[in-house]
Chains A and B, each alone.
Chain A
Amino acid sequence: MYDKFIPTAADYVRFAPEILLTVFGTLIMLIEAGRKEDQRRPYGILSLIALAGAIYLAFPAYNNAGPAFQGMLIVDGFGTFFRVLCYVAAALAVLCSGQYLSREKADSGEYYSLILFSVVGQGVMVTANELLMVFIGLEISSIATYVLAGFLRDDQRNNESALKYFLLGSFATAFLLYGIAWIYGLTGSTDLSLIRAALGSANPPNVILTGTAAALMFVGLAFKVSAFPFQIWTPDVYQGAPAPVSAFMSAGPKAAAFAILVRIFMTAFEPIAARWEPILWVTALATMVVGNFAALAQVNIKRLLAYSSIAHAGYILVAITAQSQIGISAVMFYLAAYTFMNVGAFAAVTHLAGKDEKYVNIEDLAGLGQRQPVTAALLSVFLLSLIGVPLTGGFFGKFYIFKAALDSNLVWLTVLGLLNSAVAAYYYLRVLVVMYMQDASAEVPAPKPVSGGILVALVGSAVATVILGVFPSVILNFAGKSGTLNP
């Protein structure tokens, strides 16, 4: 039994980014409470400082890599990568939020606190080495996003989005928790490396029961990454939520959920990989097909991006099905590229939607090429990257995923995946056609010039998308090095 435990300095260093974010989140709440009516609201700046500080602190944590708090967390290259990715995604969302919130007259500190706390949850998830920490991190991240989805309380679309997300999300988390309980019953542990040891031992627990436990946990995580058949919530929630929140949801929580899906299935459940591989194969294919074909029929651009995010989840599942180190690196690279291009596209939507998000249909973008050449060009970069055109991050992302799949002899999955991405080109190109080849309609007023945070987010994401497309080695080297998950 443990008589006493005193955290060492190394424990704190490895957990420092999350501590900093929690402090800033609380600070913003306190400032909001004590603010006079006419004082300015410094929350956006404070959140950016907190996120920048957290990114900065993630590096000393990585240099001190190792388990923290008695194996509750493990700071390794893989965890650090996703940690930083979640912070960056949140920073981009914060950049878009300032103008959006003042436009909707909803600027308040709680919004930023919720984003920061949500990122704390994601940080805990991606570095977790214990199913208990996974669950707590997931709940923190999810509950904060449920609230953020319904932040504009008087908007019906927000209410619908938040309620659907909350009800379905809690149901899915219950599956995850039930699976964890089964695993604890079977192996006597919730520690990922001990579970792996128990499952891989000479006398493993009953494989049917272990498979059931893994399946239950897969349901919970597949919901969070919106994989088929648990993707139904995605379009409704992304469409209804405030645009910068959709940007955040489609990047941060999703990347964290993928990270933990990879970590659990590639470490703890690795000994039974032969059993879950076919399930993952089918899920990956079905997710790609459903996402791409449903996207073809969309008229609302937020819904289109939601279905596109389902399709991209399918591609990432292809890389996980490969079950190799290259596969893990491909997942990491793809999620980084996906974060920039997807958040960038949502940032453009945030700007173009106008007050009360009136103009969110694809046809409202008509004539944007003449009206706002810069915004149109930046949005085109993101859409081209989502298609996977060379010289963008999306191209190399898809390239590495299908290369990993081929290396693992998943020929059919690769062929079907490539056919899918050809289908996907149609609906992204349609947006480009509307932007450049159709005349502006008189009913849609010309959008205001882009400025401030949204401009920074747009340009930043576009630059990052192009850099990943031209010099993929920037991230790939690190991803290749951290693709080994040491249990």
Chain B
Amino acid sequence: MDVILFLVFSAIAVACALNLVVQRHPISSAISLVGVMASLAILYLLLGGEFIAMAQMIVYAGAIMVLFVFTIMLLNAGAEKRGVKRPWAVYLGIPLLTGLLGIISFLVQGQVQGSPPVILGGFTGGAAGDVGRALFTRYVLPFEVVSVLVLIAILGAMVLARKEIE
């Protein structure tokens, strides 16, 4: 059952990712991205990362995608206009890309042989409680320092978005 779920949602993720690139209208691409994010969340859940799965749904598939769609609508972006046709980009690029991916997968496949198989459901400890405990003990300093990062992001957005200086 787990394996079937894994295969189904990986296939959806890959299909949505391809669709994202192929689609010409930004909204269609954005919706495909939602598909990628949501199926990734399911994959995390299968691996036992409950908290990550929920964060992925709420933050990525939810909040960030809404922002994406808002921005696209605000800019009133229409369908993408393809520039000058470059046939070699298609006829050469696609086979080369496929070849590269093939070689990489072959190498990785060859190198990781002998590692223990992934057991779906074998990992527990990805619940919100576990993540919270790690955040406030082992990882308390990174957690606190990230607040400076967030502060900078706010400050930067304000600096770049205000009307005029002085």
Residues of A within 8 A of B (CB): 1-5, 7, 15, 22, 26, 29, 68-70, 72-73, 105-108, 110, 113-114, 117-118, 120-121, 124, 130, 132-133, 136-137, 139-140, 143-144, 146-147, 150-154, 162, 206, 208-209
Contact = CB atoms under 8 A, between A and B. Distances in A.
A139 B158 CA distance: 18
B149 interface: yes
Interface of B: 107-108, 111-112, 133-134, 136-142, 145-146, 148-149, 151-153, 155-156, 158-160, 162, 164-166
B160 A208 contact: no
B152 A153 contact: no
Given A4-B137, A72-B142, 7 more contacts: A3-B137, A110-B155, A114-B159, A121-B148, A137-B145, A153-B159, A153-B165
A2 B133 contact: yes
B166 A105 contact: yes
A418 to B, nearest CB: 39
B138 A114 contact: no
A107 B166 contact: yes
20 contacts: A2-B137, A26-B151, A69-B140, A69-B141, A70-B141, A72-B139, A106-B166, A107-B166, A110-B158, A113-B155, A114-B155, A114-B159, A132-B142, A133-B142, A136-B142, A136-B146, A147-B159, A153-B160, A206-B111, A206-B112
- Kindly name the residue among A130, A150, A206 whose own CB sees the greatest number of chain B CB atoms within 10 A: A206
B141 A72 contact: yes
Contact of B159 (A4, A72, A110): A110
Contacts of B141: 15, 68-70, 72-73, 133
A18 to B, nearest CB: 8
A129 B140 CA distance: 14
A105 B136 CA distance: 44
B156 A208 contact: no
Contacts of A70: 138, 141
A143 B112 contact: no
Contacts of A162: 160
A76 to B, nearest CB: 17
Given A120-B148, A140-B149, A209-B111, A151 B159 contact: yes
A69 B143 CA distance: 12
B165 A143 contact: no
B166 A140 contact: no
Given A117-B151, A209-B111, A154 B156 contact: no
B137 A105 contact: no
A136 B142 CA distance: 7
B133 A105 contact: no
- Kindly name the residue among A68, A107, A139 whose own CB sees the greatest number of chain B CB atoms within 10 A: A139
Contacts of A154: 164
A185 B137 CA distance: 22
Nearest to B153: A143
Contacts of B160: 147, 150, 153, 162
Contacts of A113: 155
A43 to B, nearest CB: 13
Contact of A140 (B139, B145, B162): B145
A144 B152 contact: yes
A3 B158 CA distance: 39
- Kindly name the residue among B146, B158, B160 whose own CB sees the greatest number of chain A CB atoms within 10 A: B160
B134 A2 contact: yes
A212 B158 CA distance: 39
Nearest to A15: B141
A93 B76 CA distance: 41
Nearest to B162: A153
A124 B155 contact: no
Contacts of A209: 108, 111-112
